[in-house]
Amino acid sequence: MLDIPSSVSVDVEALMAAQNHMGVCDAIEQYAPVGKPDTMTAPHFPKVAGIDSTVPPPAHTVAPASPEPAPPSSPGAPGAPGALIQDRLAGWVSDLTTLHELTERLARTAFMNDALHEVLRAGAALVGARRGLVVLEPADGLGPETTVGLGLARADLGHIETVPRGATSYGRILDRTDGTGEPEVHADLLSEDGLDPRHREVAARLGYAASFALPLATDAAGRLGAAVWLYDEPAEPVERQRHLVGLYTRYATEHLARLLELERARTKSRTIAEELLPPRLPRVAGVQLAARHRTGPRGGGDWYDALPLPEGALGLTVGSVTGSGASAVAAMGRLRASLRAYAVMEGEDPVAVLSDLELLLRLTEPARSATALFAYCEPALRKIVLAGAGHSPPLVIGERRTEFVETSLSAPLGMLACWEAPSVEFSPEPGETVLIYTDGLLHRTGDPMDRAFARLHAAAAGVPRTIRNDPGAIADHVLHTVLPDGLDAADSDEDVVLLAARFE
């Protein structure tokens, strides 16, 4: 308990005013007397609209022991200044602990979508709501723009978006000149005069009766969007809750601004990587082609290419440059362009093509290595000659066999003083599909390489007969079977490339 002499005089009204007009820490420093309480209380957030807060009290706090009855004139009496100060300080410490826990959880998010969901959950706990939505709409107009809901399905968000923008809380916030200012509070929507009829209809349909909205904006970050929390019954947050959620959203806005810059950089890297790859595959008699490409969030150095060559031949290649980000994407573009030139000049000798590429890599990218596979195909003869540098073997998928092509072992490009490995030759049967791919397909499984290869083989062997004539459908089946549960589309540091060629 606070050790406060009975002669100490405390202005309680000034202390309460300090909470509202000063920072919590500043008020504690100015008004707290010397001494440290032995125990503190940390009450739950008050129940609002029949909803209990989901934020638990700090683990280190304990319920206060029942004090001995004190004489009315004693400083420990319920109405004495010492007891008021103790309760006030205990509440401040509880609030600061809660904010610390919530901001720590937010700081651990690394992607915009995860951060937006965390902001909604934390804000709902602070204001005592159950549902909400956040609208991301940066004021600079560079995007991305999105709407994320808490306790609201995509159809529910669609209903809310049918309300005229000017009639919604988030719309009024976003349409302000600076995107900042006071929150939008509607304590009883259904009985509010002048409420837009469509807004009233949607609120009744979705079952919310009140809303509280805050701008996601600071002077440094500018306006990023708005957050709205919805109550099932007429209600509004009390002053303490407004203060806490205001502090939280200011921190959250700065965090979202940093993630926004990262998201834009990742998008640019992915766009550049996609633009460096073939916009379409060539049409060559005797063979059908299909490709599938998944780029990691930071942009990687995986590529594929299909190049028509003289005398009706076709060059097929896939490869991967070490690293990620803009530098890896740029290196991938340079190597792919160089490989196309070497393929035109000496494509019938895949070993010579990769040898030239290895020399170029050592001279121009000495800090990098790369894996690559190049195949010289003669569709009319159903003949393929290929060479690989540290690359996984192709997979032949047919009615009577599903097997990996036996290739010679070789180190990746840039790992040896002079790269050269013998090529191999094989002939696919009519109707068989040759699948070449990058190692990202195997690494995204999270399995050891032997199990990943077994999973790939099983997926290829299980291709339904009804789609064996379509190389695109085969590639999709393999991709979704090897990487189930959305791993084919999930953010990952590994790029994935599949190139399928079905020979007629």
Of 327 and 462, the one with more pLDDT:
462
- The H or E element that residue 336 is part of is helix 326-346
- Split at pLDDT 50, 70, 90, the class of 229 is very high
**Mean pLDDT score, 189-207:** 91
Per-residue pLDDT, 308:
94
Cβ neighbours around 29 below 10 Å, total: 10
Highest mean pLDDT among 66-70, 259-263, 324-328: 259-263
> What per-residue confidence (pLDDT) applies to 80?
64
Report residue 65's pLDDT band, with 50, 70 and 90 as the boundaries. Answer: very low
Q: Which residue has the higher pLDDT, 192 or 273?
A: 192
pLDDT exceeds cutoff 80 at 309:
yes
3-state DSSP assignment of residue 157: helix
Q: Are 497 and 318 in contact (CB under 8 A)?
A: yes
For tokens 């990023």, the residue is: 224
More confident residue, 293 or 408: 293
* Predicted local distance difference test score (pLDDT) of residue 377: 96
CA dist., res. 268 & res. 270, Å (int): 5
- pLDDT: which is higher, 183 or 182: 183
Q: How buried is residue 114: exposed, middle or buried, by Cβ count under 10 Å (0-12/13-18/19+)?
A: middle
Distance CA 455, CA 366 (A): 35
pLDDT, tens digit, for every residue of 124-141?
999 999 999 999 999 888
Q: What tokens were used for 423?
A: 């090529």
Higher pLDDT: 80 or 375? It is: 375
- In whole angstroms, give the CA distance from residue 12 to residue 10: 6
pLDDT score for 492: 65
- Give 472: exposed, middle or buried? Use CB within 10 Å, 0-12, 13-18, 19+: middle
In this structure, how many other beta carbons lie within 10 angstroms of the beta carbon of residue 72? 9
170 by Cβ neighbours in 10 Å (0-12 / 13-18 / 19+) ranks as buried
CATH 3.30.450.40 maps onto the chain at 109-263
| Half-sphere exposure at residue 432, Cβ-oriented, CA atoms within 13 angstroms | 23
Phi, psi angle pair for 2, to nearest 5°: -65, 135
The two structure tokens encoding residue 110: 């690394």
Q: Region 189-197: what's the mean pLDDT? A: 89
- Rg of the chain, C-alpha, whole Å: 32
Residues 238-258, mean pLDDT to the nearest whole number: 93
Give the residues across from 389 on adjacent strands: 372
The hierarchical CATH code for the domain 109-263 is 3.30.450.40
Quickly state the pLDDT bin for 60 (edges 50, 70, 90): very low
Identify which of 32, 131, 34 has the alpha carbon closest to the alpha carbon of residue 90: 32
Q: pLDDT value at position 410?
A: 82
User: 277-503 sits in which CATH class?
Assistant: alpha beta
pLDDT at 181 over 60: yes
Q: Are strands 287-294 and 300-309 parallel, antiparallel or unpaired?
A: unpaired
- Tell me what the mean pLDDT of segment 264-286 comes to: 84
DSSP 218-263: ETTTEEEEEEEEEESSS----HHHHHHHHHHHHHHHHHHHHHHHHH
Report the alpha-carbon distance of residue 380 to residue 283 in Å, rounded: 14
With a cut of 70, say whether residue 336 has pLDDT above it.
yes
Predicted confidence (pLDDT) at residue 323 exceeds the cutoff of 90: no
The angle subtended at Cα 391 by Cα 375 and Cα 399, nearest 5°, is 60
Name, in order, each residue with C-beta under 8 angstroms of 26's C-beta and a sequence gap of 6 or more: 18
- Name the token pair of 127: 């204001």
Q: Which of 503, 499, 475 is nearest to 278 (CA)?
A: 499
Reply yes or no on whether the pLDDT at 21 is more than 80. Answer: no
Average pLDDT, the chain: 82
Complete DSSP assignment for 263-292? HHHHHHHHHHHHHHS-SSPPPBTTEEEEEE
Kindly write down the DSSP assignment for every residue of 385-398, as one continuous string: EEEEES-PPPEEE-
Range of 66-75, 167-176, 290-299, 322-331 with top mean pLDDT: 167-176
Q: What is the pLDDT of residues 77-109, one digit of tens each?
A: 555 677 888 887 887 888 888 899 999 999 999
Query: What residue ranges of the chain are covered by domains with CATH 3.60.40.10?
Result: 277-503
Is 238 in contact with 51 (CB distance < 8 Å)?
Answer: no
- At residue 22, the pLDDT reads 42
